[in-house]
Amino acid sequence: QPWLKREDDISKKPVKLHQTDILMSREMSQCIGCLACISICPAIKGAWDLFNGPMLQTLTAKAAFNPMDTSNRVLQAIRSGSFNCTQCGACWEVCPKKIQIPEKAIGHMKVLFAEQEPDGFAKEVGRKIKAHKNPFGRAEARHQWAEGLNLPLAGRVLFHAGCLPSYEFPKTLQSAIRLLRKVGIDPVYFADDEICCGEPLLRLGNEKEFIKNATDFVELCRIRGVKEVITPCAEGYRAFTKDYPRYLKGADLPAFKHLSQVLAEHSTDLLMKENVMEGLKITYQDPCRLGRDSGIYEEPRSLIQLVPGIEFVEMKKNREDAVCCGAGGGVKLTNSAFAQWMGTNRMHMAKETGSSVLITACPWCDRNLRDTLEGGDGIEVKNIIDFLSDALKE
């Protein structure tokens, strides 16, 4: 029912609405039904039954945000697959009305759902982060990758390893420290005191826990004298740079940088071996949070091209038009099979370039795209950190 479901008893006085009560609903009303968002959405191609797409989610949100509507629109939206949207931003990019579909039509509905449904994904991830400081609920120490590296616990520049790399990509993190030291940065690392950036909490709608978590993160930085935070994760980077300022208004935040920005700034210090990757054809996956969300397109590309002898080729859809790997929006945590279905579609596009290596600058893309590979597949997925470290002179 895309129309308003009003109170049945019309003998009541007319409902008076203040303009501010319907601001969100009015934004959704801007939709002109052009279908551009549907034409681009990677989560509905071939799987309409699992997600009804951005336009219908926008129309549902329009009714949900109108205080006169009496039906449970939030539940309708969730049942129509809101949790299968990766919040990749492709719909926003093409929407002629620039409606904030990922953040409002989808993201805010998840927040309302979390308030309505106390035992949903949002609460579950919240409990795991509270108990173990990571969204997977893993109880083992997260610092093991850093053993022997002698990273200090307090100081000006922090390396925030992040949850997924800490547990699944220890070698990548060791390579990140090697690269940072090559460019003259010896960072601080919080080891087992490290806190999740909180991004999965927000994407799954647990706004309250996100704010608490972010507050704790910033306070720990203050206590340890941190002024700058370097992250190897695109999802974390988006949370730090866009969501922390939005939710912690007025807080004294450290500066946040993605590792690729830091390395690109110091690229003349990264001396590469000759001949190690001669003739290798390479393509690059723009992580949605780094690309569309943050406009960081050139730094990773310039770093890849530091390696002598490689042939760099773009996928047909790149930069603003890049297609999501499928892991974002909490989808990798809540529906890994669906994330892999999306990832497989993206891998086909990478293979079309004839490349033997697909590089990305986010551990979530790395994880999900690797998960689509079965016994080789003619293409290798690599984090840009590992790629650079493999070519770096001793």
Please give the residue ranges that form the binding site for ligand SF4 (CB under 6 A): 31-37, 40-43, 54-55, 58, 85-91, 94-97, 99, 101-102, 106, 324
Minimum distance from residue 338 beta carbon to ligand SF4 (Å):
11
Distance CA 309, CA 356 (A): 14
Which CB sits closer to ligand SF4, 27 or 299? 27
Minimum distance from residue 41 beta carbon to ligand SF4 (Å):
3
Which CB sits closer to ligand SF4, 39 or 144? 39
Return the residue matching tokens 């935070």.
229
Geometric angle at alpha carbon 94, from 91 and 98, rounded to 5°? 85
Minimum distance from residue 238 beta carbon to ligand SF4 (Å):
13
Which CB sits closer to ligand SF4, 58 or 368? 58
Q: Is 252 exposed, middle or buried (0-12, 13-18, 19+ CB in 10 A)?
A: exposed
Q: 241, 256 in Cβ contact below 8 A?
A: yes
Which CB sits closer to ligand SF4, 55 or 388? 55
Q: Read off the tokens for 197.
A: 């950036």
Dihedral (CA of 374, 379, 385, 388) sign: positive
Q: Read off the tokens for 37.
A: 């968002």
Minimum distance from residue 293 beta carbon to ligand SF4 (Å):
11
Q: Is 18 exposed, middle or buried (0-12, 13-18, 19+ CB in 10 A)?
A: exposed
Mapped onto helix, strand or coil, the DSSP state of residue 67 is coil
Which CB sits closer to ligand SF4, 52 or 172? 52
Minimum distance from residue 196 beta carbon to ligand SF4 (Å):
22
28 CB-side CA count, 13 A: 26
Quick one: how far is CA 58 from the chain centroid? 21
Q: Is 236 left (phi over 0), alpha (psi -120 to 50) or beta?
A: alpha
Q: What is the DSSP letter of 392?
A: B
Minimum distance from residue 320 beta carbon to ligand SF4 (Å):
13
| Dihedral in degrees, nearest 10, Cα atoms 106, 111, 113, 119 | 130
Q: What is the DSSP letter of 357?
A: E
Minimum distance from residue 305 beta carbon to ligand SF4 (Å):
29
Q: Read off the tokens for 295.
A: 């406009």
Strand ordering across the sheet containing 228-231: 157-159, 228-231, 255-258
Minimum distance from residue 121 beta carbon to ligand SF4 (Å):
16
Which CB sits closer to ligand SF4, 34 or 223? 34
Please give the span between the terminal C-alpha atoms of the chain, in angstroms, as a whole number. Answer: 64
Q: 323, 286 in Cβ contact below 8 A?
A: no
Minimum distance from residue 94 beta carbon to ligand SF4 (Å):
6
Minimum distance from residue 58 beta carbon to ligand SF4 (Å):
5
Q: Provide the 10 A C-beta neighbour count for residue 105.
A: 31
Which CB sits closer to ligand SF4, 126 or 329? 329
